Amino acid sequence: MKLKTSLTVLFILSGLYTHAQTVNIKDFGAIGDGLKMNTEFIQKAIDEVNTKGGGKVIVPEGTFLTGTVHLKTGVELVLQKNSVLLGSTNLADYEKNDRWYALLIADDQQNIGITGQGTINGQGRTLALNVLKMVKNGSVIDPLVLKRPNERLRPQLIEIQRSDKVLIKGITLLNAACWVQTYNHCTQLTIDSITVKSTAYWNNDGIDIQDCQHVVVKNSNIDAADDAICLKSSDPKSACEDVLVTDCKVRSSASGVKFGTASVGGFRNIRVKNIYAFDTYRTAIALEIVDGGTMEDVTISHIIAKNTGGAIFIRLGQRRKTSPPGIIRRIHISDMNVEVPNAKTDAGYALEGPPEEDIYPHNLLPAQIVGLPGYPVQDLTLENIVVTYGGGADKNKAYVSLDSLAKIPEMAAEYPEFSMFGELPAWALYVRHAEGISIKNSTFKYLKDDFRSPLVFDDVKKLTINNLNLASGNGTPAVILRGVTQQSIQKLVTSAGSNGKILVLK
């Protein structure tokens, strides 16, 4: 497995921009009192620098109210310390490109940047509620699915697409009305040392990277009301490719690092490392192909997750009936330490994840690797993994008997979430429809006894387990095998100090 991270991306970090000029938005009439609308003044500054060959546009100390501003080739927007770009709360002050409303938009540009120590504040909750009022009074048409305005009616903070050599560095992003920032079909994109605090409203993904190539995301702190760092693919002719995500701290009312749900083209040559996830409602790592794409050559390492709903969720599904399922193969996950408590892990945040146990009753959910019949997840390695579960499962809450494994629904077309199958028969790891699964030098344990077996493998070919330590104090088999062929299980040790029992089911 080889990551082809482009040297040109690293070149961005070393100072790509050579500026012909520097201008201050105040020189074009901008006033930073938080009241005066400054859209035209900021845009004039950007346009002038662009026309004259590129340079810096300075946003000085102050609070500058604005609507949509378009970034242009050769322009670096520099937010100085104690500066704020304050997004309007009126939808009429926003423009959209062919995809989305946003405060800062760039389409088909080159050598652009948003940098500095300042802040972009979208006032997202107020803006979203104002859009909701417009829907209810009929001035905006929207069916109000899920009782909130459509995502595309709620402006993002940043929307950049089809652009090359993009640098986002140092800034703080607050309170978007929807996704915080999206980069679509961009190349040579670097996101470095940014802070995102966006729990203002629903669908607040921290970072969305869609069908981009040669990407570095590093040294950033993301607190989001939806997925924290999310790679997406909506173009069958493209993919997220040659991506490095490293040295980031994430919190989410969904998943910490996620590939999907949009997964039409896919994800290739991706490396994720040195991630600290905390208070995350769903899983620390979620890898999903459900729209026919291909996920391959993914390396994930050195992950610490505290107070998270789950460790790993890997799903190959089929939402599109008109095309076959996609492919997940050559995935290596290593050096991961996760704590999954018996509690709601995002309790107390302004927007908590939904109470899914009301819909899908379940005890604590195991890590999951789930494909489809005839379409297995392929060539996946878990190495040096430690997961500590709260345990304490209760049969009165939910229970799946071992003779009911075949009745666990496939749910091929359903939206993928770690709770989609409801209760599962394993407490540590559940693997179904997979081929070439290797688990080595790993430990799964719990704080309180669990009546379920630690590991269940169902319809798995080429299973290798070597040096695996499991908590097991209730007499249940350590490993359940159903429809498993070509297996090699060595050094399987339980907490009682004995070799783990293996139960083979027909």
Give the pLDDT confidence of 455-474 residue by residue, as tens digits: 999 999 999 999 999 987 67
State both tokens at 102: 């946003």
Total domain count, the chain: 2
Domain boundary among 207, 226, 245: 226
Specify the pairing of strand 101-107 against strand 95-96: antiparallel
pLDDT by residue (tens digit) across 100-144? 999 999 999 999 999 999 999 999 999 999 999 999 999 999 999
Task: Yes or no: say if 409 and 373 are a contact pair by the CB < 8 Å rule.
Answer: no
| Residue 481 belongs to some domain of the structure | yes
In a domain, 108, yes or no: yes
Residues 116 and 44 in one domain: yes
- The pLDDT score that the predictor gives to residue 498 is 62
Outline where DSSP puts E strands in 290-355.
294-316, 327-340
Let me know if residue 346 belongs to a domain.
Answer: yes
Q: How far apart are CA 473 and CA 251, in angstroms?
A: 33
Q: Which of 172, 206, 226 is the last residue of a domain?
A: 226
Q: Are residues 158 and 261 in the same domain?
A: no
Band the pLDDT of 10: cuts 50, 70, 90: very low
- pLDDT tens, position by position, 242-268: 999 999 999 999 999 999 999 999 999
Supply the mean pLDDT for the chain.
93
Rounded-to-integer distance, Cα 102 and Cα 87, Å: 9
> What mean pLDDT is predicted for residues 40-66?
98
Instruction: Output 177 or 496, whichever has higher pLDDT.
Output: 177
Tell me, what amino acid is at 83?
A: S
Residue appearing with tokens 């799964």: 444
Are residues 195 and 121 both part of a single domain? yes
Q: Which of 66-70, 356-360, 394-398 has the highest mean pLDDT?
A: 66-70
Report the pLDDT value the prediction gives residue 13, as an integer from 0 to 100.
Answer: 42
Pair (198, 307) in one structural domain = no
Q: Do 219 and 233 fall within a single domain?
A: no
Could you give the CA distance from residue 26 to residue 7 in angstroms, rounded to a whole number? Answer: 37
Position 5 confidence tier, pLDDT thresholds 50, 70, 90: very low
Cα–chain-centroid distance for residue 233?
12
311 in a structural domain: yes
Using the predicted structure, report yes or no on whether residue 16 has a pLDDT greater than 70: no
> Which pLDDT value is given to residue 149?
94
| 9, pLDDT greater than 50 | no
423 and 442 share a domain?
yes
Q: What is the pLDDT of residue 241?
A: 98
- Is residue 169 in a domain? yes
Same domain, 219 and 248: no
**Coil, strand or helix at 440:** strand
- Region 323-334 average pLDDT: 96
Domain boundary among 226, 247, 273: 226
| Three-class DSSP category at 323 | coil
| Local structure of residue 146 (DSSP, 8 states) | G
Do 311 and 180 sit in the same domain of this protein? no
Whether residue 306 sits in one domain with residue 208: no
pLDDT tens track for 263-299: 999 999 999 999 999 999 999 999 999 999 999 999 9
Could you tell me if residue 137 is inside a domain?
Answer: yes
Q: Supply angle C-alpha 460, 418, 403, rounded to 5.
A: 50
Q: What angle do CA 103, 132, 143 make, to 5 degrees?
A: 110
What range does the domain containing 22 cover? 1-226
Q: Give yes or no: residues 32 and 108 share one domain.
A: yes
**What is the domain-level CATH number for residue 159?**
2.160.20.10
User: pLDDT at position 186, please?
Assistant: 98
Tokens of 263: 């997964």
259 & 405 share domain:
yes
Question: Read out DSSP for 15-54?
Answer: T----S-EEEGGGGT---EEEEE-HHHHHHHHHHHHHTT-
Per-residue tokens: 305: 């997750």
Can you tell me the mean pLDDT for 304-310? 97
Mean pLDDT in residue range 221-248: 98
- Do 159 and 97 contact (CB within 8 A), yes or no? yes
Question: Residue with structure tokens 């049969």?
Answer: 395
pLDDT at residue 14 tops 90: no
Comparing 1-10, 100-109, 211-220, 344-353, the range with the smallest average pLDDT is 1-10
Decide if 139 is inside a domain: yes
CA-nearest of 125, 81, 71 to 103 is 71
For residue 326, being part of any structural domain is answered with no
Q: What are phi and psi of 11, to 5 degrees?
A: -65, -35
Predicted TM-score (pTM) of the model is 0.95
Question: What pLDDT shows up at residue 473?
Answer: 65
Residues 166 and 245 in one domain: no
